[in-house]
Chains A and B, each alone.
Chain A
C-alpha cells in the first residue's frame, strides 16, 4: 500500500500545481490518473495548442505548461499511478482514507483532492432496450480480449474508426460478424472503410446500413438483437455478443457514488476552501462548481492554493499553519 498525505485524483495542470502548494506546507502527494501520461486534457487533447491566459506567459503551449509544472514540483517528489482509474474510497476509523484503483492499487491518505477535470471518459451507450441488463453477459463496450469472441456470432454497431477497425479484426476471429451502421457511408479512415466494404462484398461480414439496434434479448446471456431498418421494419438476428462502439463521453465515474453533492455532473464545493460536503475531500479545477465558477486553469491554481491551506489541518492536526512567501522562504525540497 502507498501511504501519503494527500491523494490527488487527476494529474492535469491543477492536480500538478496542488503538489507545489502542498509541498510548501510539507505535505506529500500521490497522483492518480486514468490516462497513461500526466497533463490531463493538455497532453491528451491539445498538447500543441497555445494557451494565452496563464499569468506571466503571453503565450505557452499546453505541453510546455505541463512540462514546466513537472519541473516546478520536482523538489517535492510526488508519486504517480497512471493508467488506472479510481474506483473506491474507504474511510478508516482514524479518519484517514483508502483509495483503490481498478488495478487494485491502494493509497492511504489523510485528505483526498479530486482534480478530475472533465471526468473519466466512458463508453457512450446507445438507447437500446435491456442494454445494461446484458452488460458482461454478451454486451461489451470494448474489445479487451479478442479470444473471447473466437467462433462466436458478433454484432457491432457504430460508424466511427473503432467500429470499422474492430469489424476488420474480428472478421478473422469470430464465426460471424455483423456491422450495423445508422448511416449510408463511413467517414472513417478510407482504407478501413474500403476494407469493410470489401469484406461485405465477399460475404465475410454482414454489413447492415441505414439501420439501428433497438432491442437485445436473451435468457441469462445475450442470444439475439433486434434491428430496425430505414423503413422501421424490425427483425432479429442471432448474436452471442453485441459491441456498441459510439465513442467516449466524459463522466464523473465512480466518484459519483461517494456521497458528494453533485450538480450537473460537477461537484459542489464551498469557496472558502474548495471542500466538498464530505470532510477531508476537496474538489478543484474543472470538476467543481460554485456560484461564479469559471473553468480556467488559473482559477484551478487559485483553488489549489486555498485547498492546501485547509487540508493542512488533516495532515498536521496538532500544528498551527503559518503562511510564508516563497520569496522569503524559498522552496525547500523534502
Chain B
C-alpha cells in the first residue's frame, strides 16, 4: 500500500493536500466525498451526472485517457474545457501522485 498525495482546490479557492491509500479501489470522486468535499455524485460513479466535474490544473498528461462515457458527458457540459475530467472516472493510484485538481460546479445545499 502506498499513500498517494495530490492537491485539491475547493470552490472557495482554498487548497489542501490529500493523502489517500491506493489499495482501496477508490475513485477520486469517492476520495473527495470521504474527505468531506461537497460533491453530489448523484449517479454514484457512472459518468451520468457530471456533478464531480474537476479541472486538472497539474498532472493532466499523466492521467489515463477518458473512456467513451466520460468523453460523451464532458462533450455535453457547457463549462468543460480541455483539462476537465470527471472525478468518478479517475482512480487513486500512482498516476495522480502530485496532481492538482480544482472542484468545479455549484455548491450543493
Instruction: List residues of A whose CB falls within 8 A of some B CB.
Output: 45-46, 118-119, 124-127, 157-160, 182, 187-188, 212, 244-247, 249-250, 263-265, 286, 295
Contact = CB atoms under 8 A, between A and B. Distances in A.
A249 B75 contact: no
B49 A250 contact: yes
Interface of B: 38, 40, 42-44, 46, 48-51, 71-73, 75-81, 108-109
Nearest to B82: A183
Nearest to A246: B78
Nearest to A186: B75
B106 to A, nearest CB: 9
Contacts of A249: 49-51
B78 A45 contact: no
Nearest to B106: A127
Nearest to B66: A187
Contact of A265 (B72, B77, B80, B108): B108
The SS class assigned to the A binding surface is loop
Contacts of B80: 182
A157 B78 contact: yes
A244 B76 CA distance: 10
24 contacts: A118-B43, A118-B48, A118-B49, A119-B42, A158-B76, A159-B76, A182-B81, A187-B71, A187-B72, A212-B78, A244-B78, A245-B76, A246-B76, A246-B77, A247-B73, A247-B77, A249-B49, A249-B50, A250-B42, A250-B43, A264-B38, A264-B108, A264-B109, A265-B108
Nearest to B81: A182
B43 A124 contact: no
Contacts of B76: 124, 158-160, 245-247
A167 to B, nearest CB: 15
A155 to B, nearest CB: 14
A106 to B, nearest CB: 29
Contacts of B46: 45-46
Contacts of B77: 124, 246-247
Contacts of B49: 118, 249-250
Contacts of A158: 76, 78
B26 to A, nearest CB: 16
B40 A264 contact: yes
Task: Name which of A46, A157, A250 has the most chain B CB atoms within 10 A of its CB.
Answer: A250
